[in-house]
């Protein structure tokens, strides 16, 4: 029979190894997205500092999406248009699901009208595998 203390230590050790592996994976992912933003001459932020979640959540074609979170935002402007590429995470009544949402260009002159933000012109949605 295995000693409960050794079993506990093994579980704690495996958890620490898993946390380290996940941390390395996330760091590499962020660096790859940051490099992509530099190549496109755009800006990158890890969190939704632009408050895109509130603007785009209502346009999700998934009924029942809840706990919506936006992160890894790449943004910039090209001539008269803004461009956004970001990842949105949400939950459903079924198991959690991730989707990458790409915001297409929109005119900055029509971005805010009378204090209300107009919707994005197009959204492209791709389910993450």
Tens digits of per-residue pLDDT, 72-100?
888 888 777 788 888 888 887 665 555 54
Same domain, 59 and 110: yes
The domain of 34 spans 1-39
Same domain, 46 and 84: yes
Ramachandran region of residue 29, left (φ > 0), alpha (ψ -120 to 50) or beta?
alpha
Same domain, 30 and 64: no
Same domain, 32 and 54: no
Average pLDDT of every residue of the chain: 76
Give the chain's radius of gyration (CA, Å): 19
Same domain, 78 and 100: yes
Same domain, 34 and 78: no
Same domain, 63 and 1: no
Considering 49-53, 55-59, 101-105, the range whose residues carry the highest mean pLDDT is 49-53
Say which DSSP state 60 is in.
Answer: -
């Amino acid at each position: 029979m295995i000693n409960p203390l050794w079993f506990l230590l093994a579980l704690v050790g495996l958890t620490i190894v898993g946390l380290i592996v996940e941390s390395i994976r996330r760091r590499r992912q962020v660096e790859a997205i940051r490099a992509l933003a530099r190549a496109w001459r755009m800006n990158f932020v890890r969190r939704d500092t632009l408050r895109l979640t509130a603007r785009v959540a209502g346009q999700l074609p998934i009924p029942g999406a809840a706990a919506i979170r936006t992160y890894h935002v790449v943004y910039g402007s090209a001539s008269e248009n803004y461009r956004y590429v970001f990842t949105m995470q949400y939950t459903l009544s079924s198991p959690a699901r991730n989707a990458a949402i790409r915001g297409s260009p929109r005119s900055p002159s029509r971005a805010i009208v009378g204090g209300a933000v107009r919707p994005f012109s197009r959204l492209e949605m791709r389910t993450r595998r």
